[in-house]
Chains A and B, each alone.
Chain A
Amino acid sequence: MTIGIPRALLYYKNEKLWTKFFDELGINYIISPETNKEIIENGSKYAIDETCLPIKIFLGHIDYLKDKCDCIFIPRIESDQDRETCLNFRAQYDLVKNTFRNYNLKILFYNDSGHKPQKESKAYKKLCKFLHIKKSLGKYAYYIAKQTQMYYEFFRSENQEKVLKDTKKIKVLLLAHAYNIGDKYVGEPIVNMLEKLNVQPIIAEYFDRKKCIKASKAVSKTLPWSYNQHLLGALELYKDVVDGVILITTYPCGPDSMCDEMIVRQYKDVPIITLTIDAQDATAGIETRLESFVDILNFKRNGKK
């Protein structure tokens, strides 16, 4: 049996957890390639016009995988700690099932819902039962995979803290969801452009999650999305260390549409620009805006000295 993992949405949040889990159990899997133009175009064909870009990309990846594997892995993550995720993550399973109805896709999933602390391990237990894997073996694989993911995130955040301390370049904090910043089509061009401009990009997603979420509660009490809490908390913690902030959102992202407004209104003394990305790829406009933004940051820093 071969499992297909779409390289989109939640994959960027749980990369090591999923791959290590299947590695430990000795299950074959393939991961769809990095997002390219063709994938986006195919995804747009299936999606309704006004759906957000990440969902279009996601459907494109499913389209790529649909005849290359036996079943597609689409977990459903409804809540994270005490807050929710975007509604699209709840509907992923049903969305794919209804969109690709004629292809008779087989979908492998686990359902991570509710607010109890052990909810994820329970969801994996059910997944193992469905796959006819021995209970103890499944549990072992899950814990190994979870540890791998934890260490991966830990070293990533340590690394970034170190860079933040050492570098003398201009530092710009990128506030973007994991599935946007990690995507080859959405986030990577921006990171590359910044590096070309001799700027150190600091990625908010890489900072320690628990610390960030705790910090965000001081700013916004009722923010319902935990992924946005993570980003907001990172901004609150590191706003004095970085020179500027870039908000990267995709058109038309629901949570971001409101959270970004809050950020812009809350942090009036921090230099912030918002980049909205849609399915049309025109990098020239973004490049111009980034250049002028970096120029302003340069002036500001030199003026201080």
Chain B
Amino acid sequence: MNNEIIACFPQWGSYYCAFRFLFENGFGVKYMTPPPITKNTIELGSKHSPDYVCVPFKYCLGCHIEALEKGANCLMQIYGGCRLNYYGELEEKILKDLGYNFKFFNMAEINFKSPKSILQNLKIVNPNVSIVKIAKALPATIGIIKTIDRMEDFIRQNAGFEQNENEMEDIFSEFKQKLDSTTGYKEYKKLKKEYLKKLANVKINKPKNPIRVGLVGDYYTVQEPFSNYNMEKELEKMGIEVHREMNLTNTIIKSKYKSSRKIGKKYVKFNIGATANYTVAEALKYAKNGLDGIIQVKSFGCTPELNAQTVLQNISKDYKIPILHFSFDSQTSETGIKTRLEAFYDMLSAKKK
């Protein structure tokens, strides 16, 4: 019975829609949307991971354990510029030690210079994988990612001012649900048109000069709402226009790395690793565009963000823009975060007057 392959990638924002599309239509395997992250997930993850590894690792591990319990049998992990490079191998080792039986698709093992290695690794997911099928599914996958980012950007900036509460969020989740049954590019295009229109038609009364806050931080924490304690939603509730540039579109699909280096040249001369250059450039952009404040969210001990934090402090002094730093661990208290956010909001609104 267990011949069916069920793939699963850790919970990461709303991108599961895109991954589902890629795996079901490209790889030809079943995709299991990982169960939503709860307190239980992070507890499970922290229990089995090393002490002071960064929190995203604990989230990923917890997510994988929950998915395995629910019947997934093919897990995957991406790679990146920092500790993320080693996530895959260590996770595989820990899960195997726990006695689970599964296949692991680790992108860090792929040598991207040799086509043979790429094919070999893709075959881990599905032994009769077809490259043509994957290539056919890619444009729509990229399209979905771009649309999700575009919609989220729109919601972030306007949801705080809508007349009927949660209208935008409802439309967005409806869109995500509809995406679950899409199989082709044309179908997706139609959906995209329909829902973008719906979003634009939502009635909002935005004041002329609202408080605007920019969000920067490390790749996972800034993008996964649970890991930053739903900070975006909290800010929106206060009636703040939230800006965030860090997403898949801006980093991988249409990489802004080169322009980031150029923008941050005054402060940072070299590549300081992972997302730190983006963070610096984004913060500078927000400061120059006259945003009211910047919030940096990061996981505890994140090396590149720590180095970026030193630079952010200088930017804060030069441009006279307040920056709030959050460092999340697996045991951060929610009330503490709320209090700090409220104080930050009060400070911004007092400054605005």
| Interface set of A (CB-CB < 8 Å, partner B) | 48, 50-52, 76, 78, 84, 86-88, 90-91, 93-95, 97-99, 101, 111, 113, 220-224, 251-252, 254-255, 257-262, 265-266
Contacts and interface: CB of A to CB of B under 8 A. Distances in A.
A101 B316 CA distance: 14
Interface stretch (B46-54, B157-165, B341-349): B46-54
Given A98-B267, A222-B108, A257-B52, 7 more contacts: A48-B310, A98-B311, A221-B89, A223-B89, A251-B52, A252-B300, A266-B93
18 contacts: A48-B310, A50-B301, A87-B272, A87-B273, A87-B304, A90-B270, A91-B273, A91-B307, A222-B79, A222-B89, A222-B106, A223-B86, A252-B301, A257-B50, A258-B50, A258-B90, A262-B93, A265-B93
Nearest to B50: A261
Contacts of A98: 267-268, 310-311, 313-314
A87 to B, nearest CB: 4
Contact of A87 (B49, B90, B303): B303
Interface in B88-113: 88-90, 93-94, 97, 106, 108-109
Given A50-B306, A88-B307, A91-B307, A261 B270 contact: no
B301 A254 contact: yes
Interface in B270-295: 270-274, 276
A241 to B, nearest CB: 25
B83 interface: yes
A86 B303 contact: yes
Query: Which of B306, B314, B327 has the most chain A CB atoms closer than 10 A to its own CB?
Result: B306
Query: How extensive is the interface on chain B, given as a class?
Result: 35 or more
Given A251-B52, A254-B303, A93 B83 contact: no
A97 B304 contact: no
What's the dominant secondary structure at chain A's contact region? helix
- Interface core residue of A50, A51, A76, A220 (most chain B CB under 10 Å): A50
B85 interface: yes
A224 B270 CA distance: 20
A221 B109 contact: yes
Given A87-B274, A91-B272, A93-B269, A224 B307 contact: no
A124 B276 CA distance: 27
B196 to A, nearest CB: 39
A67 B270 CA distance: 25
Nearest to A49: B327
Which interface residue of B89, B267, B313 has the most chain A CB atoms within 10 A?
Answer: B89
A64 B86 CA distance: 36
